[in-house]
Amino acid sequence: NAGVTQTPKFQVLKTGQSMTLQCAQDMNHNSMYWYRQDPGMGLRLIYYSASEGTTDKGEVPNGYNVSRLNKREFSLRLESAAPSQTSVYFCASSLRSGAPNYGYTFGSGTRLTVV
């Protein structure tokens, strides 16, 4: 099925370990986003990419890096995981960033626990 695929679905890391969350979409969307969801908080934007080759910081970028590898793939890297990064991470994509009418398509999420 067409959509946004995130891997892995679950991950446990030790403090200081690194990992990369993968996201791929097959809808030919231009824009891609990484959000985190914490209890009692709305979805908060970590990084986004309006188009292939561009990335920008969102509200909570500290401790993360991203790569827009090509039009399909947008990865999120934690270089040195901290317990404060325990969260559920969602990748999303939309067709065009400049037009108002396009909704997001979300991946199924990655539940990350840092111990």
Partner 1 sequence: ILNVEQSPQSLHVQEGDSTNFTCSFPSSNFYALHWYRWETAKSPEALFVMTLNGDEKKKGRISATLNTKEGYSYLYIKGSQPEDSATYLCASRDRGSTLGRLYFGRGTQLTVWP
Q: Binding residues for partner 1, per CB under 8 A? A: 4, 31, 33, 35, 40-45, 48, 50, 56, 58-59, 90, 94, 96-98, 100-109
Of the two residues 17 and 52, which places its CB atom closer to partner 1 in the complex? 52
Rounded to 5 degrees, what angle do the CA atoms 41, 95, 97 make? 65
CB of 40 to partner 1, least distance (A): 7
Rounded to 5 degrees, what angle do the CA atoms 81, 86, 92 make? 100
CB of 14 to partner 1, least distance (A): 26
Which secondary-structure segment (H or E) carries 68? strand 64-68
CB of 17 to partner 1, least distance (A): 26
Residues with Cβ within 8 Å of 107's Cβ and at least 6 positions away in sequence, in order, are 3, 4, 5, 6, 23, 90, 91, 92
Half-sphere exposure of 57 (CA within 13 A, CB side): 7
Of the two residues 19 and 45, which places its CB atom closer to partner 1 in the complex? 45
Q: Retrieve residue 18's tokens.
A: 């690194």
Of the two residues 17 and 61, which places its CB atom closer to partner 1 in the complex? 61
Of the two residues 42 and 53, which places its CB atom closer to partner 1 in the complex? 42
CB of 80 to partner 1, least distance (A): 26
